[in-house]
Amino acid sequence: MPTLSHTAQAIATGRSSASEVLQACIARIEATEPRIKAFTGTRFEAAREDAARIDAQRARGEPLGPLAGVPFAVKNLFDIAGEVTLAGSKVNRSNLPARDDAVLVQRLRAAGAVLVGSLNMDEYAYGFTTENSHYGPTHNPHRAGHSAGGSSGGSGAAVAAGQVPLALGSDTNGSIRVPSSFCGVWGLKPTFGRLSRRGSYPFVANIDHLGPFADDLAGLALAYDALQGPDPLDPGCFATAVQPTLRGLDQGTRELRIGVLGGYFADFAGEDAREAVAQAATALGARETVLWPDAAEARAAAFITTASEGGALHLQRLRERMDDFEPLSVDRFIAGALQPAAWYVRAQRFRRVYRDKVNALFQRWDVLIAPATPVAAPALGSEWIEVNGQRLPCRPSIGLLTQPISFAGCPVVAAPLWPSGSGGLPIGVQLIAAPWREDLALRAGHALERAGVAAVRTPPP
C-alpha cells in the first residue's frame, strides 16, 4: 500500500487519480474491517463525490491542496456535519446531528483530504484499550484478539491495517501514543493548545490534545502542517501562527542534544520497551541518561485532574442514564464526581511548579527518548500486565509512561519500532520536545525512519 506522502505525491503528479486511490481504500476497508472493527460509520458515497471533484479540478488545471485525494478517517468524537457525534457512547445517540465539521476536519478537507468515516474509541475517551461494549472491541491488526490501544484505538488500527493512511485522534493521558505503540504507526501529540479543539467532544479540558496518525513520517508532518493555525473561537487554542515542519525534516539531528529518560521511565518499561528505546538511542546517537522531574507525582496529578473533570462533565448524564454507560468507564466517572475538590486544587498547584521544572530540562536538551508503553499490546480482556517482575493492573498501567508527559503539555512524536523479543508485535518510543517545538521531534522521527529503525509494517489482508 502506498504511504500517505507517496499517495499525495502520486495524485499531485497525475500518476494516480483521487477516485482510484479512494476505491482501493474502500476495498481495503471492506476486506479487513470484519476482523479489525476500527470503523463505527462510513460515508463512501460522499467520499466518492469528493474524490471525483478533486479529479475534475485537476483535469481543469486548477491548483490542488497538499493532501488532495488522501483518504482519512476520524475518531468518532470529531463532529462530522449531518452526523451524530457518538464519542464512543450509547447516551449520545439521541443527540442532534452536528451542524458543521470539526475545525480539524475542515482543515484537512480544505487541504484536499477525503473523509471516509468515523472510528471506534473508548467511551467518552476514558480508557486505554478500546474495549467498547456498545460498538465492539477494536482488534490489533498485527494479532487478532489483542488490544489496539486506546482511547483512539480505531484510529491507530485503521492506519496500521492499511485502511486509511491518515486518521485523527485525541490524547489526554496517552490516547494517541498508546495506539501508535500497540499498532505500530506514527502518531503526533502536539503541544497543549497548539491545535483547535472546536467541534470535538471534550473529555478533560485542561489536558485534551488533538492530533494525527499516519503511515509515514513525512505524511505525519504534511498532515500536521495542514492542521495548524490559530482559532480565535477556541479559547483553548493558543497558537498564533502556522510553523511549517515538513520542509525542515531533512536537516538531520547531528546538532540536536538528545538524551534518554531513565529512572521512572526505565523502572516501568518492560524488556521489549527497553530494547526499543536502546535501538532508537543508538540510531540517534543518544548516550546520556536524563531524569524527568516528578514523573510519579505528575501521573497521580493527571489521574486526579482526569477523574475530577471527567466526572463533573458527565454528572448529569450519570444521574439520568447511568445504566447506558460503558461498564468499564462508569465507575471511573462516578469516583471522579465524588473526588474532593481539594485534591483537584492541589493537583493544579503542583502542575504549575511541575511545568516549570520540565521546561527547565529543555534548556539543556532538545529531544528526549522514552518508551511509549510498558509492554507490547496485551490480549483484549487482560486484567494484569507484568513489568520487570511487578504485577500491575492492565488498563490504568498502560498509560504509566505517557501521562507524565501530556500533563506537562510537551509535544511528542510516537515512533513505531519492532523489538526482536515482542513476537512480531510493535512497540513505540516517545520523542519528546519542548513546548512548541514539534519540528524537533519530527526531525528525530524522520532520522529514525531513514535509518530503518522505525517503520510501519502493514499486515496482509
* pLDDT value, residue 460: 82
Q: Is the pLDDT of residue 422 over 90?
A: no
* pLDDT value, residue 328: 85
Task: Tell me the average pLDDT of the chain.
Answer: 97
* pLDDT value, residue 405: 98
Vertex 122 angle, CA 292 and 79, to 5°: 100
Mean pLDDT of 65-76: 98
Mean pLDDT of 429-449: 98
* pLDDT value, residue 50: 98
Q: Give the torsion sign (CA, 305, 173, 221, 26).
A: negative
Q: CATH second-level architecture of 4-450?
A: Alpha-Beta Complex (3.90)
DSSP assignment, residue 401? T
Mean pLDDT of 300-311: 97
Q: What does DSSP say about strands 186-189 and 143-147: parallel, antiparallel, or unpaired?
A: unpaired
DSSP assignment, residue 324? G
Confidence category of residue 186, pLDDT binned at 50, 70, 90: very high
Question: pTM of the full predicted structure?
Answer: 0.98
Mean pLDDT of 160-171: 98
Compute the distance between CA of residue 399 and CA of residue 416 in angstroms, rounded to an integer.
17
* pLDDT value, residue 80: 98
Mean pLDDT of 283-291: 98
Give the residues across from 137 on adjacent strands. 131
**Catalytically annotated residues:** 75, 151, 175
- The residue extents of the domains of the chain are 4-450
Confidence category of residue 237, pLDDT binned at 50, 70, 90: very high
Q: Is the pLDDT of residue 461 over 90?
A: no
Mean pLDDT of 402-422: 96
Q: Is the pLDDT of residue 436 over 90?
A: yes
- Overall residue count recorded for the chain in this entry: 461
Helix (H, G, I), strand (E, B) or coil at 294: coil
In order, the DSSP letters of 140-156 are ETTEEEEE--SSSHHHH
Helix (H, G, I), strand (E, B) or coil at 29: helix
Phi-psi region of 455 (alpha: psi -120 to 50; beta: other; left: phi over 0): beta
Helices (H), 166-234: 177-183, 217-227
* pLDDT value, residue 1: 75
